[in-house]
Amino acid sequence: MLYYLFRHLEQFGVKGAGMWQYISFRALLTLVLSLLISMWFGQYFIRWMHEHGGNEAQRDASVDPYGVEKKGVPTMGGVIIIVATVVPCLFLGRLRNIYLLLMLGTTLWLGMLGFIDDYIKMKVTKDGLRPIFKLIGQAVLGLAVGLTLWLSPDAVVRENVTTERKGLESVVVHKSQPVKSTITTIPFVKNNNLSYSQIMSFMGRYRTAAGWILFVCVTVFVVMAVSNGSNMNDGMDGMCAGNSAIICLALGVLAYVSSHMQFASYLNIMFVPGSEELVIFLCAFVGALVGFLWYNSYPAQVFMGDTGSLAIGGVIAVVAIIIHKELLLPLLCFVFFMESVSVLLQTQVARMGNKRGKKWRVFKRAPLHDAFRIKPGQLPADYRIFLNWPKGCWLESKITVRFWIVTVITAALTIVTLKIR
């Protein structure tokens, strides 16, 4: 709203009104505003949840080897993140931008899905919403995002084309007209554009439509995978919020260079008109996450719950899809990916062992972060652990910081892939 107001005032020569056209100014202002809202609103939200019994059911005390009990800690802290993200975007964003609208819709939809799950855990049963309903909600969002990017006339790209000049110098230019395209970026490959339509070339004259259908299916899968990965990562104080803030900073860099013609040409990536508003949204999101860490750092005063973790994963997935960088997510979200893989491996190996009357486990516990905070004496003597590492256990705060460091490394590598090919 303020963006349109000041752009209107610029016509009358109001001093300072012209600053609102610059992404850097609005992005930094959004970051600061979301950080302040998150820190200010958080204290009142925590107090209100205490007064109204919005506390999470007591977690299994045996999980923490040092006997740290987390009783009476409010959940649904994701509400803090959502409010601190949406409010600055409404004031400082260009609300006619299709990508910003998609991000706001993603945040609110998955936030609502997680809110329902947290409410059921508090008031009905600690099992929460049935997993199938979560998956359906995530699939609906993925379908809506994929179809919007397919059908909206505003969701276009200008593909990068490399031309040779005198056989000595390679010059990257972009097509003159924006087009609807199913291309995506492949890491570590010289000609780094892959078209889903090319994959479906066996469909003949229907390959374009088939390519878009494949794109929509990939979108649904990516949203579900990343959203569930972030949900599994939310098991320690500050873990998910810190990792997600780092990931979103890296996505902000990718979104900025994708929205800037000169940077896109230098890096030989596609130019995505309008994606600069993603930088505004991501700055708001990062500010909200950092402000939330004020209360969620060890020992936590509030848990984000599924209200926050599902929304976080959805936001990361949709941003990557919009800027056509979804194939970079396994590297960028390496921690989320390993958390999901650890749960899948643990479950499948346990089932195989049960069929043979044995108790098999790949890790000491799953998700992966839980394997680092369990003492040998806490493991049942009849369990066979295939990967019994580490031998001892780490403090929760140390595990969290070390996972952050891993995410910093993978985020840096993700950005570097734009030049390593």
How far from 287 is each of 295, 318, 384, 418, CA to CA, in Å? 14, 19, 44, 26
Q: pLDDT tens digits, residue range 50-65?
A: 888 777 655 555 556 5
- Residue 373: what pLDDT? 87
pTM exceeding the 0.85 threshold for the entire prediction? yes
Q: How confident is the model at residue 177 (pLDDT cuts 50, 70, 90)?
A: confident
Q: What are 169's strand-pairing partners?
A: 165
Q: pLDDT tens digits, residue range 94-139?
A: 999 999 999 999 999 999 999 999 999 888 888 889 999 999 999 9
Q: How confident is the model at residue 165 (pLDDT cuts 50, 70, 90)?
A: low
Q: What is the mean pLDDT of residues 300-316?
A: 95
Q: How much of the chain is helix, strand and coil, in % rounded to 5?
A: 65, 5, 30
Share of the chain above pLDDT 90, in %: 65
- Residue 15: what pLDDT? 82
Q: Looking at the predicted structure, is the pLDDT value of residue 367 above 80?
A: yes
Backbone φ and ψ for 158, nearest 5 degrees, come out as -115, 110
Contact assessment for residue 326 and residue 320, using Cβ atoms and an 8 Å cutoff: yes
Q: pLDDT tens digits, residue range 271-284?
A: 999 999 999 999 99
Peptide bond just before 367 cis, omega within 30 deg? yes
Q: How confident is the model at residue 187 (pLDDT cuts 50, 70, 90)?
A: confident
Of residues 294 and 421, the one with the higher pLDDT is: 294
Q: How confident is the model at residue 69 (pLDDT cuts 50, 70, 90)?
A: low
Q: pLDDT tens digits, residue range 379-405?
A: 888 888 898 888 888 889 999 999 999
Q: How many CA atoms lie within 13 A of 328 on its CB side?
A: 31
Q: What is the mean pLDDT of residues 332-352?
A: 95
- Residue 7: what pLDDT? 77
- Residue 59: what pLDDT? 55
CA atoms of 277 and 95, how far apart (whole Å)? 9
Q: Which residue, among 307, 303, 306, 257, has the nearest Cα to 282 in the 3D structure?
A: 257
